[in-house]
């Protein structure tokens, strides 16, 4: 993970080139990223969360994700260690954002192919650009939905920092379950919290929704131990 810790897989240079922005302007762009994204959220008037991420956020989502990956490199590096431990063969990266985990998986000799799924076209285009820059584009397919991948089973599913953004996260892990066999591994994390100052207005924190998620998770999956001290967890289907 040295390359990621050094420069986040050349993330800042990729952003400058992709957005045609100078480094000094990029630093300001990243510094204000979290609040700019939070302020763009329409609050209770939002009918469909997918509209927010596919239509409203634009480049602000790239900036927010990039700022998080740059300022939290040690944590992200540990999630990369986690997927390095488990990822193999056909990998689904669901809600892959700026592509850190998909790109790392594409670099792995244990991984045959990565299917990068994200409803935001800007994200997909940016990660496709990054894949070409890093020379791993042949190992990645870019999709708007899981069905677009045209794969019936995945050996590894990666879903980081996504479930808390969904209106019904329990429904999503039920879908994942259908794309797994007894040897598949799923890597999940979540953060069902809007923040002390509502800095994460797009996160789900409804008690009933969260309880349904945990009941569904416990009924379908068994946790697989790993020794890395992070919030992300590994799961297999209950046989």
- Per-residue 3-state assignment (H helix, E strand, C coil) for 156-218: EEEECCCHHHCCCHHHHHHHHHHCCCCCCEEEECCCCCCCCCCCCCCCCCCHHHHHHHHHHHH
Label residue 68 by pLDDT band (50, 70, 90).
confident
**pLDDT of 122 over the 50 cut:** yes
Query: pLDDT at position 69, please?
Result: 84
What are the boundaries of each domain within the chain?
A: 2-237
Contact 63, 204 (CB under 8 A): no
Tell me the CATH class for 2-237.
alpha beta
- Which of 157, 189, 187, 180 has its CA nearest to residue 238? 180
Helices (H) and strands (E) in the chain, counts: 11, 7
The confidence score (pLDDT) of residue 38 equals: 47
**Predicted local distance difference test score (pLDDT) of residue 201:** 84
In DSSP terms, which residues pair with 92 in a beta bridge?
Answer: 115, 157
Q: Which of 57-61, 99-103, 145-149, 224-228 has the lowest mean pLDDT?
A: 57-61
pLDDT tens, position by position, 5-62: 999 999 999 999 998 988 888 888 788 765 555 455 455 544 555 555 545 455 667 7
Q: How far apart are CA 175 and CA 6, in angstroms?
A: 36
Which residue has better confidence, 117 or 62?
Answer: 117
How deeply is 99 buried, as exposed, middle or buried, from its count of CB atoms within 10 A (0-12, 13-18, 19+)?
buried
User: Among residues of the chain, what percentage have pLDDT more than 90?
Assistant: 73
What are the backbone dihedrals phi and psi of residue 58, each rounded to the nearest 5 degrees, phi first?
A: 60, -140
- Mind listing the pLDDT tens digit for each residue in 172-224? 999 999 999 999 999 999 999 999 988 888 899 999 999 999 999 999 999 99
Q: Stretch 57-85: mean pLDDT, rounded?
A: 85
Angle at alpha carbon of residue 165, lines to 34 and 38, rounded to 5°: 25
- pLDDT in the model for residue 55: 54
Q: What is the pTM of this model?
A: 0.91
Residue 7: predicted pLDDT: 93
Tokens 């192919």 map to which residue? 113
């Amino acid at each position: 993970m040295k390359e990621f810790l050094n420069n986040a897989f050349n993330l800042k240079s990729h952003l400058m080139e992709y957005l045609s922005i100078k480094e000094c302007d990029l630093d300001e762009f990243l510094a204000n990223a979290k609040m700019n994204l939070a302020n763009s959220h329409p609050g209770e008037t939002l009918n469909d969360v997918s509209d927010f991420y596919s239509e409203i956020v634009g480049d602000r989502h790239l900036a927010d994700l990039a700022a998080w990956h740059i300022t939290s490199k040690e944590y992200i590096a540990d999630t990369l260690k986690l997927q390095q431990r488990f990822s193999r063969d056909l990998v689904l990266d669901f809600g892959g954002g700026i592509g850190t985990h998909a790109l790392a998986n594409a670099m792995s000799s244990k991984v045959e192919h990565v299917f990068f799924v994200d409803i935001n076209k800007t994200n997909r285009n940016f990660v496709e650009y990054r894949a070409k820059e890093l020379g791993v584009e042949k190992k990645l397919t870019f999709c708007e939905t899981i069905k677009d991948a045209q794969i019936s089973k995945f050996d590894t599913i990666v879903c980081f920092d996504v479930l808390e953004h969904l209106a019904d996260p329990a429904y999503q892990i039920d879908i994942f379950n259908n794309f797994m066999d007894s040897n598949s591994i799923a890597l999940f994390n979540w953060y069902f919290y809007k923040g002390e100052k509502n800095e994460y207005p797009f996160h789900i924190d409804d008690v009933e929704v969260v309880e349904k998620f945990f009941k569904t998770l416990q009924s379908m999956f068994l946790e697989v131990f790993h020794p890395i001290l992070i919030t992300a967890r590994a799961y297999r289907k209950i046989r």
